[in-house]
Amino acid sequence: MINKKIALVTGAKRGLGFATSEALAEMGYTVILVGRGKKEIEAQAEILKTKKLDVVGFYCDITKDSDVSKLKSFVAENFGKLDVLVNNAGVFNEVMGESSVFTTTAVVVKETFETNTLGTFRVMNALSDLLKKSNEAQVVNVSSGMGQLSEMNGAFPGYRLSKTAMNALTKIYAEEFGDTVKVNSICPGWVKTEMGGAGAERTIPEGIKGIVWAATLPANGPTGGFYRDGERLDW
């Protein structure tokens, strides 16, 4: 068993996922950057390796069972455990200014669920035994205020529903893991990434603060909650 803490970040090729990977590696974690495009994810890992960070890139499309199964084998064979899992990979398949629940097709909702909700579910179940092998595992589900039922607005039904369901997964897993593995949802705020767009309010370093906070909670930290900037949100 490896003593160093092992973290895995999905959707690590760019945006919040890449920055979270870098931040955790700078804190001393060995980080597995997971993403689509074999060459691209390895190239992103190389950027961090040139900074003397302990990282590895691994190709995996989280919508594919066979890819996720290979990811599980890779982590099991190389590390034997997982201390931090950041379920960050996500898609936003609806158009700003044009989206309405009345015109969104079931196909768009289904495709968004396939990554944001079922992708998270698939990765969690594949890696759950490895998380249980850690003494203090943390799972961060990168959710969104757009999935908050108490603040639910119109438009973007695919994205909203997928994140509400992701939040439900947070509660379900937190209950079943009990004290062994902490599972929390976080909202990073509206961040300037490819998804958030140039008009977003927050920089990437601001956006990852809450993710890193939840990934590095102390042993007596919370589980089964929804947070932004370390502050509890209503569901």
Ligand X SMILES: NC(=O)c1ccc[n+]([C@@H]2O[C@H](COP(=O)([O-])OP(=O)(O)OC[C@H]3O[C@@H](n4cnc5c(N)ncnc54)[C@H](OP(=O)(O)O)[C@@H]3O)[C@@H](O)[C@H]2O)c1
Sites of contact with ligand X (CB under 6 A): 10-11, 13-17, 35-37, 61-63, 88-91, 115, 119, 142, 144, 187-188, 190-191, 193-196, 200
Provide the CA 140 distance to its chain's centre, in angstroms: 6
State in angstroms the smallest separation of the CB of 86 from ligand X.
9
* Catalytically annotated residue among 29, 159, 173, 227: 159
> Which CB sits closer to ligand X, 114 or 136?
114
Q: Measured between alpha carbons, how far is 78 from 8 in angstroms, rounded to an integer?
A: 13
Contact yes or no for 115/17 (Cβ under 8 A): no
> Which CB sits closer to ligand X, 71 or 217?
71
State in angstroms the smallest separation of the CB of 149 from ligand X.
16
State in angstroms the smallest separation of the CB of 16 from ligand X.
4
| Cα separation values, 42 from 18, 178, 203, 225, Å | 12, 35, 25, 33
> Which CB sits closer to ligand X, 88 or 134?
88
Tokens of 180: 């062994």
Beta strands in 136-192 (DSSP E): 137-142, 181-186
- For the question of residue 159 being annotated catalytic, the response is yes
Beta bridge partners of 142: 186
Active site residues: 159
